[in-house]
């Protein structure tokens, strides 16, 4: 019931804001993608975070293969460009509310700032040089992941950047937070990330069984058929 109310609210707000209420690339608010998202990566040229992002995407696509779903994070288009620091900082400030049921409260009521419009794709991944808390957000009919300047702690610590990117991708495919600091999707309000990702051994933190169950529900073996 709560989800139905939230969905109704979203459609109402979306229509009031002038969005088309149809043709979204996912089936309903905070449910999974119903087609593989086209990904646009916005970054400086030769950004050292790019190979780490590739690894994180491979981590997820390997996970999907293991779950028996045909869903994959889709084609990547690279753009050498940037999004305005102030827009990303403002969005980071309102993207505080991921809950354990996978719901994001707050930021989905907003449209993308106008400077985002020139980029195509369903999922924008911005490797920014600004300072903010990295986030994943659903705005209008798209997803945005923004990763802050990797010269700033904690992203300079070994193993943290890869897990922060993988964590934000986890939100973008429909996962919320848990409070187990040994797992990838640990997060607020639990005080468990990202410093605990630090490790001299590069590895991705594991998913919980609840995460896997949710992914199986969102992306079943017959997904897309």
Nearer to Zn ion, 92 or 223 (CB): 92
Residue position matching structure tokens 């005080």: 191
**In angstroms, what is the minimal distance from the CB of 167 to Zn ion?**
6
Query: Is the CB of residue 77 less than 8 Å from the CB of residue 41?
Result: yes
**In angstroms, what is the minimal distance from the CB of 206 to Zn ion?**
16
- Return the closest-CA partner of residue 164 out of 146, 151, 176, 182: 146
The DSSP code sequence of 194-225 is SGGG--SS--PPPPPHHHHHHHHHHS-TTTT-
**In angstroms, what is the minimal distance from the CB of 11 to Zn ion?**
25
Please tell me the distance from the alpha carbon of residue 45 to that of residue 37, in angstroms, as a whole number: 23
Nearer to Zn ion, 32 or 187 (CB): 187
CB-based closest residue to Zn ion = 187
Please tell me the distance from the alpha carbon of residue 133 to that of residue 127, in angstroms, as a whole number: 12
128-146: burial string, b at 16+ Cβ within 10 Å, e else: bebebebbbbbbbbbbbbb
Nearer to Zn ion, 98 or 223 (CB): 98
Nearer to Zn ion, 37 or 187 (CB): 187
Nearer to Zn ion, 43 or 95 (CB): 95
Contacts to Zn ion by CB under 5 A: 98, 187
**In angstroms, what is the minimal distance from the CB of 134 to Zn ion?**
9
Q: Give the total residue count for the chain.
A: 225
**In angstroms, what is the minimal distance from the CB of 171 to Zn ion?**
6
């Amino acid at each position: 019931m709560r989800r139905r109310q939230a969905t109704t609210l979203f459609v109402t707000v979306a229509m009031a804001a002038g969005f088309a209420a149809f043709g979204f690339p996912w089936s309903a608010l905070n449910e999974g993608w119903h087609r593989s998202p086209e990904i646009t990566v916005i970054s400086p040229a030769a950004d050292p975070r790019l190979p780490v992002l590739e690894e994180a995407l491979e981590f997820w696509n390997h996970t999907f293969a293991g779950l028996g779903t045909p869903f994959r994070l889709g084609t990547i288009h690279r753009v050498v460009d940037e999004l305005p620091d102030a827009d990303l900082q403002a969005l980071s400030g309102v993207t505080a509310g991921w809950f354990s049921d996978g719901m994001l409260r707050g930021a989905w009521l907003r449209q993308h700032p106008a400077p985002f419009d020139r980029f195509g794709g369903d999922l924008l991944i911005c490797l920014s040089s600004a300072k903010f808390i990295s986030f994943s957000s659903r705005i209008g009919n798209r997803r945005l992941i923004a990763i802050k300047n990797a010269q700033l702690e904690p992203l300079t610590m070994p193993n943290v950047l890869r897990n922060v990117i993988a964590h934000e991708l986890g939100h973008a495919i429909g996962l919320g937070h848990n409070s187990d600091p040994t797992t990838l999707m640990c997060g607020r309000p639990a005080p468990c990330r990202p410093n605990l990702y630090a490790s001299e051994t590069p590895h991705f933190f594991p998913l919980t069984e609840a995460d896997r169950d949710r992914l199986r529900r969102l992306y079943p073996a017959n997904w897309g058929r």
